[in-house]
Structure 1
Amino acid sequence: MVRFFNRERELSILDDLYDSQTSSLVVLYGRRRVGKTEFAREFIRSKKSIYLFVETKSESFFSGTLRIRWREFWGSGRGWIPGMTFFC
């Protein structure tokens, strides 16, 4: 089990952005193996969200994975939102 601690301030900042009525882009960057992925996963754990780990893969592999995650999230009967039609 991964232990997660000492990130209350950062999680609070993300919560404020998440609750905002405006759009935001958050970029997590840093050295390897310092907990960026676990931080992101901890943040979305209690939220309605889609987690998609992006690696160096082909565009078709990425879009296929996104399509699967989208259907898991929304259910197979729900279509793409208009801004995401380019993934079809």
Structure 2
Amino acid sequence: MVAGVVVVANVPIVSNAWSTATEPAYVIPAESSMWRFTPTQMNDGSGDWWVYGQDDRNYYYFTGSGEPPYLVMSKAEANACAGFESTNHLTWCR
């Protein structure tokens, strides 16, 4: 039973569902899904939203403004981007 709990806790949908229910600023990118999206860096402040995230296809940076309130870079584009760092949007080739 403990192994089953650990497996469920490691599935992104559990943390994503909790975060979207409890934090108004937490969004799942339209290009992703509750099942695939994984935050890779969370906000340091009092809010509980992601700053950087990824799924099997893309990297995301949460800007908090605009529509959508995040930037997207495909992993294919990232592979061709010299100096790319997934948790530093300033290195994203644009």
TM bracket, shorter-chain basis: under 0.3
Structure with bigger RCO (C-alpha 8 Å, 6+ apart): 1
Please say which structure displays the higher CA radius of gyration.
Answer: 1
TM-score (norm 1): 0.25
Greater per-residue helix proportion: 1
